[in-house]
Amino acid sequence: MSASAPERKLTLLDSTLLVMGGIIGVGIFFNPHTIAERVPVPWLYFSLWIFGGLVAIAAGFTFAELGTTFPRAGGWFVYLRAVYGRPLAFVFAWVVLTVQSTGAIASIAKFCAERVHILAPGWVGESGSRSETVAAALLVLSVTVVALSGVKRAALVQNVCMLTKLVVIAALVVGALLFIGREDVVPAAAAVPAAAAHTLTVGSFLFALLPLFYTLGGWQLVGYIAPEMKDPVKNLPRAILLGVLGVVVVYLCVNASYLTVLGIDGLIADKGFAQTLSQRAFGPLGEKLLAAGMCISAFGICAVNIITTPWVYVAMAKEGLFFESVGALSPRTGVPQRALLIQAAITCVYLLFTLGFLVDSVVFVEWMFHLLAALGLLLLRWRQPELPRPFRSPLYPLAPLVYLLTACVVVGGVLLQPVAPGEANVELLGVPIERRVLGVSIVLLGALLYRPWRALVERAR
């Protein structure tokens, strides 16, 4: 192998932990409260998580087939380019670069800095302080520096974070089991107040879907770096499926522990339910344990995004949609240095502002691209049946259809649910109306910029 093509070093274990690290963030410590509010019946609440797990598995099958059909850098971008052409793939990459990934990394880095303040108040100031911004920037830059040294080293850092997350989550689950049989436990099957039960509607389930899938999302990130895996055609589908299945098992265990200790009413009444559980299980040390777990979890998901997303910009450059230098790989480490630095620069700019609303505005927009990915597999099977497909989605077309229909429900529910006159800030599936409009506007702006941006890149080339 030549010096310009470094050996692929990510093993199946690295890739599986990368999938799990891209899914398990901090949402599992917050979103169950919102979901329980909207589905306040224990068995229905738990069933919704099982349903979400099945959809995630269906999505995993879909991305596994697409990933082995096109095992190239850029993953999702490459799939959209193959099915729908350059303009739509550019809009996807535009959203990723300008908001979705860079903004999310900034938000999670700030969250991580907030947890450091809880653990060591003398090191980092309170939320919104200058020292918090500096700490978040140092986190982003430190992970970027590790990523610049090579994908394998960056993956090792992520592996440590992922395994530590699992230890903390296991501690919470075991702590909940210790409460079984204790007098202060709220039974998981506790009756729901009649008023709450009467408010349960089909709309309630729709309202619960967005935070549910936000907590379960991230299976697609490993596809961005498929060429950096050992035998990606074989290991990519294995990593996606093993990672998604592992996360589903973990999440079901965690939610069982929440219901065991707090009950559905406790989840609804207590926004800090995870802290309550940890304090009941471990006493005064519980808050510190949870803060440390959240900090490591946030750090890990930052690492996954920082490691994987720049390969989308490499794919853009190969398609003539980004400057050629952005797609260049280091002959020594094999990583896209300029893409990593551009990503870090945009992220650090975001750290100077409070832009959580901007990131939230594209959460449901991302599901538009999920919809297109599921539809894309169906179209590829129909248009190009002769394409080599080392992995084929089992029970086809069941998995892409389940994935597609779920994405249609999420996107359609957000975009089409009517708003009552005079309600300027109505939440639709958890997305306020102004953020819904902003999300669509970001997509339309990307579509308008496609031609002038492509012309600019071509002149630069």
Q: Given this model, what pLDDT does residue 251 score?
A: 94
pLDDT at 155 over 70: yes
| Largest distance between two CA atoms of the chain | 73
For the domain made up of 12-417+424-460, the CATH class stated in words is: mainly alpha
Residue with the two structure tokens 């380019």: 81
Contacts 24+ apart (CB under 8 A), 412-420: 413/206, 413/209, 414/210, 414/364, 414/367, 415/440, 417/206
Residue closest to 271 by CA, chosen among 60, 31, 439: 31
Domain boundaries, the chain: 12-417+424-460
Look at the pTM and tell me if it is higher than 0.85. Answer: yes
- Confidence check: pLDDT of 421 > 80: no
Handedness of CA 366, 372, 378, 381 (dihedral sign): negative
Q: Share the mean pLDDT of the chain.
A: 85
**CB contact set of 31 (below 8 Å; sequence gap of 6+):** 211, 212, 214, 215
| pLDDT score of 200 | 67
Task: Give the C-alpha separation, 336 to 224, whole Å.
Answer: 12
Residue 191 has pLDDT above 70, yes or no: no
**pLDDT, tens only, 156-180:** 999 999 998 898 888 888 877 777 6
Q: Is the pLDDT of residue 425 over 50?
A: no
Residue-wise pLDDT tens digits, 308-340: 999 999 999 999 999 999 999 988 888 999 999
Distance CA 7, CA 201 (A): 54
pLDDT of the residue at 90: 96
